[in-house]
Chains A and B, each alone.
Chain A
């Protein structure tokens, strides 16, 4: 366990350093004048002029040599001093705290809801003999996954906010406002994971240990509970760790559609405005989250499949 932790900690430092450096260099290498981009991000087209951009350049030290700016940025980054947003002037930590809080809540609720949809559905389609249900579920999953999140979001708003008028279409005041964004993300996730569970369950059902369970007289339900679910979850857990990438990608779109103050929305704006401290801070935090998810998955996999532990011990 400690090994896993140190290994992942080392990974996070390397990932953070490399991505921070790449983030810095990319922002400087992209075409366009960085001071003008930042000024446009701050003051908008109506408030932008070359003189104002020049003031921004002087204020932020963008006229200093690039290597000097780079080392200063990495030095501050290593001190975990994420600095201030070049656009809003707020502390990056504070902005991340608010925006990441909303995004994490959204991501977590989407994960949980997707599991509530996918696990029963996947197990049911794998164990039922009804081919019609199976085919319908397969096509439905393909269609939902193929629909881009922003279209799915608008469809859900139309159904729940306009036709039935039971949920607010956008905003972030209370739990009701989380339902539609969560549903948008979780439907996309569940569309894939229910198929994966279905395949995994089929494999488990064809395995000798499952068949043996049935031969020795256990009912279908008890065999599934005792021997099925745990074994089915092994590939699913690794898959869900990878799916967190989809979640981040989906969060950007969903936050924009639902006017949600999350990290995805903030990152897109930061990139457009070349807000380097915001980009570096977001990369660091996202990197940490990915590593955390992977550590969690490693631990969960060890619990679900004790053979891995034996392998490691050997």
Chain B
């Protein structure tokens, strides 16, 4: 009887184990985890020491537990036992330490921002010694650059084959646009229904929309709003939109001759009609940013502060108070100098140049002459470094490390980073962030949001969302707001 039951179970699993065709905009730039780890992490080909649940709480991955020393300078990660890589080798602490000690990870990944003194393996533990305390250290090991690969993946410290521990192993790789993978039967986690998967990087949104519409793809990630009207008419498709923790904002130079005046920064903020941008360009008015962090990032969202909003009269008044007088040409002048600002942006996110030109037009209404320049993303970093940047419209992800504190502290802490505040000093903010590093506290987090809205070291424009379209037969597809995993192992195929 038991044999028959097992046989039936096997048949039913085999029958419903299906193949998936996934498409998304992200290309595979190489095998190094710091270059393309995000795609291998999302496809669950390789895994991290730590992972997260739906709400972003840390949970064990390849490490079963972790603990810090009393002084917070030594962290011990216990490595999960009986975990196999796709090449049949076994995961151990020395392999983890080898992965994390590579130059590409220590010097060219998110770990390069940490005060790491030493990473070593002792028995089945990885011990990380720090030069100074980092209370959120485990969250960094959720980042895609810290995926753990088999030692056989490397040649001379460089990744030559991508051999992970995840539920899917690569069978074919066509850089930069194709990955084929199959189920890894010896995976340590729970069984899943996906048998084979194909990922194709499709850069053009129009092509992605046409592929899912024609039935060529099963799941299409990052479908832009413009395509949704036509896709929503298809009855065999499901559309899911979730907020992601990425804010489109104006990075600004608070040391710039014009922008050091808080009145000007506020005037720019009041002159931006965020609702119009969100409705007209992103086709979702709820994405208009009223503060830096969206309500979904609930501990950081402060509902008691004055929301950023559109008020053209107030904007004109603030500029007048700062001595800017409108001339016949419709622009503002002070000491015979025109209120002219240069804004740079980049096309990695196709909506950024469009939003930039909308802002250009909106600022013109109050007499600000905004010169828009579309360039490479590296120009933001270069011009931050040589202090020639005035304004940049950027898209900033606050949850690359699932605890946003890491990113926020770098962005708005002392000497804001390349994508953060520039020449901006606020002692209250710096001490609040330092306190947060010592002790997690919602009041301090909300204080951070309040200071950001009052001082505007950067001007939030819109929040972001991610839209995923999938075939109706695919059930239980959970979209990860943190963009860490596609959660393919959760998928259940509708039985016909």
- Indicate if the CB atoms of B400 and A46 lie closer than 8 Å: yes
Partner of B210, one of A33, A157, A261: A157
**How many Å lie between the Cα of A39 and that of B104 in the bound state?**
12
Partner of A40, one of B27, B175, B376: B376
Chain B interface residue count: which class?
A: 35 or more
- Indicate if the CB atoms of B378 and A53 lie closer than 8 Å: yes
Partner of A90, one of B30, B177, B202: B30
- Indicate if the CB atoms of B203 and A259 lie closer than 8 Å: yes
- Indicate if the CB atoms of A53 and B158 lie closer than 8 Å: no
B471 interface residue per 8 A CB criterion:
no
- Indicate if the CB atoms of A154 and B206 lie closer than 8 Å: yes
Q: Quick one: CB contact mask for A154-179 with B, threshold 8 Å, 1 for yes?
A: 10011001100100111111000000
- Indicate if the CB atoms of B203 and A256 lie closer than 8 Å: yes
Given A37-B376, A259-B202, A172-B174 contact (CB < 8 Å): yes
- B313 CB → nearest A CB, Å: 36
Residues in A with CB closer than 8 Å to B34 are 42-43, 47
Residues in B with CB closer than 8 Å to A89 are 30-32, 35, 158-159
A299 interface residue per 8 A CB criterion:
no
- Indicate if the CB atoms of B377 and A47 lie closer than 8 Å: no
- Indicate if the CB atoms of A46 and B397 lie closer than 8 Å: yes
**How many Å lie between the Cα of A191 and that of B423 in the bound state?**
59
Q: Quick one: CB contact mask for B58-70 with A, threshold 8 Å, 1 for yes?
A: 0000000000000
A45 interface residue per 8 A CB criterion:
yes
Given A48-B378, A51-B112, A169-B211 contact (CB < 8 Å): yes
Smallest Cβ-Cβ distance to A47: which chain B residue: B34
**How many Å lie between the Cα of A40 and that of B32 in the bound state?**
15
Q: Which of B373-416 contact A (CB under 8 A)?
A: 375-382, 384-385, 394-395, 397, 400
Residues in A with CB closer than 8 Å to B202 are 170, 259
Residues in B with CB closer than 8 Å to A161 are 210, 214, 216
**How many Å lie between the Cα of A48 and that of B210 in the bound state?**
32
Smallest Cβ-Cβ distance to A52: which chain B residue: B108
Given A47-B34, A49-B417, A169-B207, A39-B378 contact (CB < 8 Å): yes
**How many Å lie between the Cα of A111 and that of B109 in the bound state?**
46
- Indicate if the CB atoms of A45 and B377 lie closer than 8 Å: yes
- Indicate if the CB atoms of A261 and B178 lie closer than 8 Å: yes
Q: Which of B199-244 contact A (CB under 8 A)?
A: 200-204, 206-207, 210-211, 213-216
Partner of A48, one of B174, B178, B381: B381
Residues in B with CB closer than 8 Å to A88 are 29-31, 35, 175-176
- Indicate if the CB atoms of B178 and A172 lie closer than 8 Å: yes
- Indicate if the CB atoms of A55 and B378 lie closer than 8 Å: no
- Indicate if the CB atoms of A158 and B378 lie closer than 8 Å: no
- A232 CB → nearest B CB, Å: 38
A24 interface residue per 8 A CB criterion:
no
- B484 CB → nearest A CB, Å: 13
Smallest Cβ-Cβ distance to A87: which chain B residue: B29
Q: Quick one: CB contact mask for B324-365 with A, threshold 8 Å, 1 for yes?
A: 000000000000000000000010100000000000000000
B462 interface residue per 8 A CB criterion:
no
Given A36-B378, A55-B107, A258-B384 contact (CB < 8 Å): no
- Indicate if the CB atoms of A259 and B216 lie closer than 8 Å: no
- Indicate if the CB atoms of B29 and A41 lie closer than 8 Å: yes
Residues in B with CB closer than 8 Å to A36 are 378-379, 381-382
- Indicate if the CB atoms of A45 and B394 lie closer than 8 Å: yes
- Indicate if the CB atoms of A43 and B108 lie closer than 8 Å: yes
Residues in A with CB closer than 8 Å to B376 are 32, 37, 40, 272
- Indicate if the CB atoms of B175 and A50 lie closer than 8 Å: no
A44 interface residue per 8 A CB criterion:
yes
**How many Å lie between the Cα of A50 and that of B417 in the bound state?**
9
- Indicate if the CB atoms of B109 and A47 lie closer than 8 Å: yes
**How many Å lie between the Cα of A32 and that of B397 in the bound state?**
24
Most A CB contacts (10 A, CB to CB) among B34, B175, B198 go to B175
- Indicate if the CB atoms of A42 and B35 lie closer than 8 Å: yes
Residues in B with CB closer than 8 Å to A157 are 207, 210, 214
**How many Å lie between the Cα of A49 and that of B107 in the bound state?**
11
**How many Å lie between the Cα of A94 and that of B198 in the bound state?**
22
Given A43-B34, A50-B385, A169-B348 contact (CB < 8 Å): no
**How many Å lie between the Cα of A45 and that of B419 in the bound state?**
9
B418 interface residue per 8 A CB criterion:
yes
B145 interface residue per 8 A CB criterion:
yes
B73 interface residue per 8 A CB criterion:
no
Residues in B with CB closer than 8 Å to A269 are 27, 176
**How many Å lie between the Cα of A204 and that of B176 in the bound state?**
49
- Indicate if the CB atoms of A49 and B378 lie closer than 8 Å: no
B492 interface residue per 8 A CB criterion:
no
B297 interface residue per 8 A CB criterion:
no
B281 interface residue per 8 A CB criterion:
no
Smallest Cβ-Cβ distance to A258: which chain B residue: B207
- Indicate if the CB atoms of A42 and B112 lie closer than 8 Å: no
- B373 CB → nearest A CB, Å: 11
B110 interface residue per 8 A CB criterion:
yes
Which 5 A-B pairs give the minimum distances between C-beta atoms?
A88-B30, A36-B378, A40-B378, A45-B377, A259-B202
With A162-B213, A269-B176 given, name 9 new contacts (CB 8 A): A36-B378, A44-B348, A46-B397, A47-B35, A48-B378, A55-B112, A157-B214, A170-B211, A257-B206
Contacts A/B (CB < 8 Å), 25 sampled: A32-B378, A36-B381, A42-B32, A43-B35, A43-B108, A44-B29, A47-B35, A47-B145, A49-B112, A49-B381, A85-B30, A87-B30, A87-B35, A89-B32, A90-B31, A98-B174, A161-B210, A161-B216, A170-B210, A170-B216, A171-B211, A172-B200, A259-B202, A259-B203, A261-B176
